[in-house]
Structure 1
Amino acid sequence: MKEHKVFLITGASTGIGAATARMAVDAGYRVVLAARSLDKLEALSDELGREHARAVQCDVSDWRQQEEMFRFALEQFGRLDVVFANAGFSKGSPFYGGEDKPDEWRDMVLTNVYGAAATARLSLPWLVKTGGHFLITGSVVGHITSTRNLYSATKWAVTGIAQSVRNEMAGTGVRVTLIEPGVVDTPFWGTVPKPGTPELHADDVARAVLYAVSQPPHVDVNDVLIRPTGQPH
């Protein structure tokens, strides 16, 4: 009986995470879908087929919920081959001017930075066992600062996390990929105005994820920087 590889995705309920889940199932993976919105995850699990995809509610800013997420994944499928730390959100609070929103800042840092770091820490022991792959969603604004708010700083931190994890995992067989999208047309933006530039689609980024994952074991795609044609920064 064939043992399917297992792909865990945080922030899987919409956008890049959901698009990646669909492509991963098409590629033959068993997928664990994690996010805060359980109803959306369950709908996606039904769409993909519960024999292929299982849903688990998780707020990545909570260490214990992440522990439960990984416990669930291993109970359902018995292994982990790919982990995509994709959960994150943006709030447009600037450093100068406007309304003070300290809770917004705290929640964003806990999700985008602490949450991604916790996903790495909890997944890597399992990925070492399978010679697996850790991917993390950064941003163009974690490569070159073009926004004037704390979100950009959280994505610079994610860039640092990816580089640190890659350095630490050298020699273990675990591959590490930082995915840095430009402007993507997804629900991620919420009430934050999007820049007036062309946009990528979630499927465009998901294809980049699957490209990195599909390389032979001796090929480690370290960084995928992907902008829509015409985005200047």
Structure 2
Amino acid sequence: MTKTLLITGASSGIGEATARAAAENGWNVALLARSEDKLNTLAGDIGDAALALPCDVTDRDALNAAIAKAVDHFGGLDAVFANAGKGVDNPGVEKGDPEEWHDMIHLNILAVLYTAHAAIPHLRKTKGTFVVTGSKAGRDHMQGSIYSATKWFVQGFAGNLAEEMREWGGRCTVITPGMVDTAFFDEAKPTKLQPRDIADAVVFALGQRDTSCVREIHLMPND
């Protein structure tokens, strides 16, 4: 039976690359993001193995409804990739913008919690895997960076969730990349990590045997 992976932040960058990589490896993919046009284009490229579910993952009701639709459509849920996240235009504390912090914290932290809360009951049924996008910034101290602090939360949460899921045979993996060539940056970074590099790491984590849980994959650019 074909397994199903649900991806947040699926419309571009790491999420899009992971959707394509997972589909190439035989997975169904449920695609969540706010950009309906991009999701529909991606789903059209992948074909019947993909389901576009436009929603704002910081909206609990919309997120819960999207996950329910994915489960109903594909018959279950075997893995989740909580990938949606963002940075801020004004780094630092003193000169930072609290409104930007508010939006970033809701996406980088609360949306991850909402996704886990809604998905874990389904993953329990399949002894599934929860993967989350962390960052090198969540392993290092970066001067005044609120973004880094949100990724420190993700790092800690992933380890805690792994221990909880372990009780019933589930797994949790945090992916912690360095600089990735995505729209997160204003200028292209062609010599840095590519979205497909991260996607391949996700697929690797999902492909582990029942006796193995890859708790963290840390990737760095090779230049």
- Relative to the length of structure 1, the TM-score reads 0.91
Could you say which residue in structure 2 is the equivalent of 1:90? Answer: 87
Q: Which amino acid aligns with 1:166?
A: A
Could you say which residue in structure 2 is the equivalent of 1:226? Answer: 219
Give unpaired runs (5+ residues) of structure 2.
none
Q: Which runs of 4+ in 1 moved over 4 A?
A: none
Q: Which amino acid aligns with 2:55?
A: C
Give unpaired runs (5+ residues) of structure 1.
none
Could you say which residue in structure 2 is the equivalent of 1:5? Answer: 3
Structure 2 matches for 1:52-63, cutoff 5 A? 52-63=49-60
Q: CA contact under 8 A between 2:92 and 2:143: conserved in structure 1?
A: no
Aligned-residue offset at 1:147:
5.1
Q: Which amino acid aligns with 1:131?
A: K
Aligned-residue offset at 1:225:
0.6
Q: Which amino acid aligns with 1:7?
A: L
- Cα deviations by residue, 1:130-181 (Å, 9 ceiling, x for unpaired): 0111000000000112353210010001111101111212221101100001
Q: CA contact under 8 A between 1:183 and 1:198: conserved in structure 2?
A: no
Distance 2:121 2:192 in 1: 36
Seen in structure 2, the aligned counterparts of structure 1 residues 197 and 28 have a Cα distance that, compared at 3 Å, is closer
Aligned-residue offset at 1:197:
10
Could you say which residue in structure 1 is the equivalent of 2:22? Answer: 24
Percent identity of equivalent pairs: 41
Could you say which residue in structure 1 is the equivalent of 2:46? Answer: 48
Question: Secondary structure at the residue paired with 1:188?
Answer: coil
Distance 2:194 2:144 in 1: 24
Distance 2:62 2:75 in 1: 19
Question: Secondary structure at the residue paired with 2:7?
Answer: strand
Distance 1:151 1:96 in 2: 11
Structure 2 matches for 1:167-182, cutoff 5 A? 167-182=163-178
Question: Secondary structure at the residue paired with 1:90?
Answer: coil
- Relative to the length of structure 2, the TM-score reads 0.95
Distance 2:201 2:93 in 1: 36
Structure 2 matches for 1:71-86, cutoff 5 A? 71-86=68-83
Could you say which residue in structure 2 is the equivalent of 1:209? Answer: 202
Aligned-residue offset at 1:101:
2.1
Aligned-residue offset at 1:76:
1.1
Q: Paired residue for 1:146, among 142, 145, 155?
A: 142
Seen in structure 2, the aligned counterparts of structure 1 residues 88 and 224 have a Cα distance that, compared at 3 Å, is same
